Structure 1
Amino acid sequence: MKALVFNGPRDIRYESYADPELRSANSAILKVESCSICGSDLHMYHGAHIGKTEYSADAPKFCCGHEFVGEVVEAGSDVHGFKVGDKVLAAGGTGCGTCAQCLTGDVWQCRASTAFGIGPSLQGGQAEFVNVPNADRTLYSMDGLTTEQALLLTDGMATAYFGLTRAEPKPGGTVAVVGLGPIGIIAVELAFILGATEVFAIDPVDSRRAMAAKLGATTLAPSPDMIGQIMEKTNGAGIQSVFEASGAKGAINSVLPMVARQGNASFIGIPEPDDVLPLPLIMFKNITVRGGICDVQNMWPHLIPLVRSGRIKSEGLFSHQFDLSEGADAYRLFDSREEGVIKLRIDVK
């Protein structure tokens, strides 16, 4: 098959790769229809870190990508919820499917859990075909969903909901979203759905702030006086619920100064090993800080009914479209953060 293969920092190649095989009886093989690039993929692209893994020139080759949708073309004997021909979306990661944690719905407590496409242990879906273990718990029907809605539900929309709700937005409260990539833009929309009266949306890119403004947000560009502006707009109180959605060092550092006393801060951007938070601010402002990796499957019951009913729009996020053979160009464009670049859809023909 053809796939986008990690060959080292800034070296994603469209090349031949071994066809996937069913790795277990609870696995399924998908023929990928479409896939997309996540901001966390750029940590690999930059030769940085995801957890303890460093993506240097010496890292092993693997198929990239954890955001993909497609059609079941083969299913193992222990797959009961899906059959050949079903159109499905896949969660961005999964577990073994047989341990106590997986069987009770706690996939990310599984010791074998990992994301697709961040290493050779679970090949990614930026490819013509992909093996999906724990298929009954990892896949979801695309019935009633567009391809782009399904792609967002593989990770981005779920992560936006996960990260935002961990900042505990309250009806009538104030929210800030720091970083307006696809996850941040979706979080702005979700914050209003959850009852926020004012949402501050912060990003250096004009076009991204413009998208947030159309959703009703108060937009700000990072600047030396940004915290002062926020305090002025909130009469010195600060913001009750702050969601950091980028993982950029400057974004991380800006969060705690804007949080209100007894407020909440949530972080979902993948950190680098030297990223730290100032403990005195946390202590003396009584801030609750949360971080974590989204358990995508557990977000679907909250989100999919809202998407199918049209309550969540998430419109205009896919700004560019590529074929799989153009994947290297897609990565370069996504990394550029140029005006107008939000989310890239890659179709597999």
Structure 2
Amino acid sequence: MKALVFHGPRDIRYESYDDPELRSPNSAILKVSSCSICGSDLHMYHGAHIGSTEYGADSPKFCCGHEFIGEVVEAGPEVHSFKVGDKVLAAGGTGCGNCPACKTGRTMECPVATAFGIGPGLEGGQAEYVCVPNADRTLYSTDGLTDDQAMLLTDAMATAYFGLTRAEPKPGGTVAVVGLGPIGLIGVELAYALGAAQVIAIDPVASRREMAEKLGATTLSPGVDLQKQVRELTGGRGADSVFEASGASGAIASVLPIVAHRGNASFIGIPEPEDTLPLPLILFKNVTVRGGVCDVQNMWPHLVPLVQQGRVKADGLFSHDFSLSEGAEAYRLFDSREDGVVKVRIAVD
């Protein structure tokens, strides 16, 4: 098959790769119809870290990508909810399907849980075919969803819901969203859907701030006076809920100064090892801080009704289209933030 393969920092190659095989009786093989690049993929692209894994020139090669949709073309004997021919989306990560955590719906607590396409342990879906273990729990039917909606439900929309709700937005409250990539922009829309009266959206890129303004947010560019500007917009209080959706060091550092006393801060951007939080601000402001990796599958029951009822649209996020053979350019453009890029869609078939 053809696939996008990681060979080192800024070295994504379109090349032949071994066809996947069923890795367990509960696995399925998908023929991928389209895929996308997530902001977290750029950590690999930059040669940075995801958790304890550092991505350098000596990293083993692997097939990239954890956002993909497609059609089941083979199913193992222990796959009961899907059959050959079903059109599905896949959660961005999964576990074994057999341990106590998997069996009780806590997939990302599985001892072997991981995301697709961040290493050779679970090959990714930026490819013509991909093996999906724990298929009954990892796949979701795309019936009643557009392809764009399905793609966003693989990760971005689920992560936005996960991160935002952990900041505990209250009806009538103020939410600040730091970082206006796809996840942050979806977070703006979700904040209003969940009852926020005021949303403050923060990002250095003007075109992304403009998108947030169209969703109703008041936007700010990060800088030395960010705390002062947020206080002015909130009557001196600060934001009740702050959702950090970037992972950039500056974005992480900006959160606690702008959160209100007894407010809530939620972090979902992947940090670098040197990123830290100031304990005195947490302590003396009585801030509740949460961080975590989204368990995508557990977000679907909350999100799919919101999407199908039109309460969350997430329109216009896919700004550029590529073919799989143009994958290296798709990564370059997405990383550059040129040409108003927000999110790229890659056609496989």
Q: TM-score range by the shorter chain?
A: over 0.9
Secondary structure of the 1:254 match is: helix
Q: 1:134 maps to which residue?
A: 134
Q: 2:31 maps to which residue?
A: 31
Secondary structure of the 2:230 match is: helix
Q: 1:343 maps to which residue?
A: 343
Quick one: distance in 2 between partners of 1:181 and 1:339? 14
Cα distance, 1:339 vs structure 2: 4.8
2:140 equivalent to 1:146: no
Q: 2:222 maps to which residue?
A: 222
Quick one: distance in 2 between partners of 1:110 and 1:244? 26
Structure 1 residues 179-194: aligned runs within 5 Å: 179-194=179-194
Return 5+ residue gaps in structure 1 as ranges: none
Cα distance, 1:188 vs structure 2: 0.1
Quick one: distance in 1 between partners of 2:237 and 2:222? 19
Q: 2:17 maps to which residue?
A: 17
Cα distance, 1:60 vs structure 2: 0.1
2:115 equivalent to 1:112: no
Structure 1 residues 61-76: aligned runs within 5 Å: 61-76=61-76
Residue range with higher mean Cα deviation, 76-85 or 229-238: 229-238
Quick one: distance in 2 between partners of 1:78 and 1:235? 57
Q: 1:280 maps to which residue?
A: 280
Quick one: distance in 2 between partners of 1:206 and 1:22? 46
Quick one: distance in 2 between partners of 1:124 and 1:3? 9
Cα distance, 1:340 vs structure 2: 1.2
Q: 2:98 maps to which residue?
A: 98
Quick one: distance in 2 between partners of 1:156 and 1:19? 27
Secondary structure of the 1:125 match is: coil
- Do the aligned residues in 2 keep the contact of 1:114 with 1:122 (CA within 8 Å)? yes
Over residues 253-274 of structure 1, what are the superposed CA-to-partner deviations in whole Å (9 max), with x where a residue is unaligned? 1000000000000000001000
Secondary structure of the 1:246 match is: coil
Quick one: distance in 1 between partners of 2:211 and 2:311? 18
2:250 equivalent to 1:250: yes
Q: 2:196 maps to which residue?
A: 196
Quick one: distance in 2 between partners of 1:100 and 1:263? 34
Cα distance, 1:309 vs structure 2: 1.8
Quick one: distance in 2 between partners of 1:338 and 1:217? 23
Quick one: distance in 1 between partners of 2:246 and 2:98? 33
- Do the aligned residues in 2 keep the contact of 1:205 with 1:339 (CA within 8 Å)? no
Q: 1:47 maps to which residue?
A: 47
Read off the aligned partner of 2:141 and give its amino acid letter.
S
- Do the aligned residues in 2 keep the contact of 1:206 with 1:339 (CA within 8 Å)? no
- Do the aligned residues in 2 keep the contact of 1:9 with 1:47 (CA within 8 Å)? yes
Over residues 91-118 of structure 1, what are the superposed CA-to-partner deviations in whole Å (9 max), with x where a residue is unaligned? 0000000111111111011101000000
Cα distance, 1:144 vs structure 2: 0.5
Secondary structure of the 1:346 match is: strand
Cα distance, 1:337 vs structure 2: 1.5
Over residues 147-169 of structure 1, what are the superposed CA-to-partner deviations in whole Å (9 max), with x where a residue is unaligned? 11000000000000000000000
Return 5+ residue gaps in structure 2 as ranges: none
Quick one: distance in 1 between partners of 2:317 and 2:89? 18
Cα distance, 1:338 vs structure 2: 2.2
Cα distance, 1:207 vs structure 2: 0.8
Read off the aligned partner of 1:37 and give its amino acid letter.
I
- Do the aligned residues in 2 keep the contact of 1:32 with 1:127 (CA within 8 Å)? yes
Secondary structure of the 2:315 match is: coil
What is the Cα-based RMSD across aligned positions, in Å?
A: 0.6
Quick one: distance in 1 between partners of 2:81 and 2:193? 31
Q: 1:306 maps to which residue?
A: 306
Secondary structure of the 2:338 match is: coil
Quick one: distance in 1 between partners of 2:337 and 2:284? 36
Quick one: distance in 1 between partners of 2:259 and 2:226? 13
Q: 1:211 maps to which residue?
A: 211
Quick one: distance in 2 between partners of 1:302 and 1:233? 31
Cα distance, 1:225 vs structure 2: 1.1
- Do the aligned residues in 2 keep the contact of 1:207 with 1:339 (CA within 8 Å)? no
Residue range with higher mean Cα deviation, 148-157 or 339-348: 339-348
Cα distance, 1:233 vs structure 2: 1.4
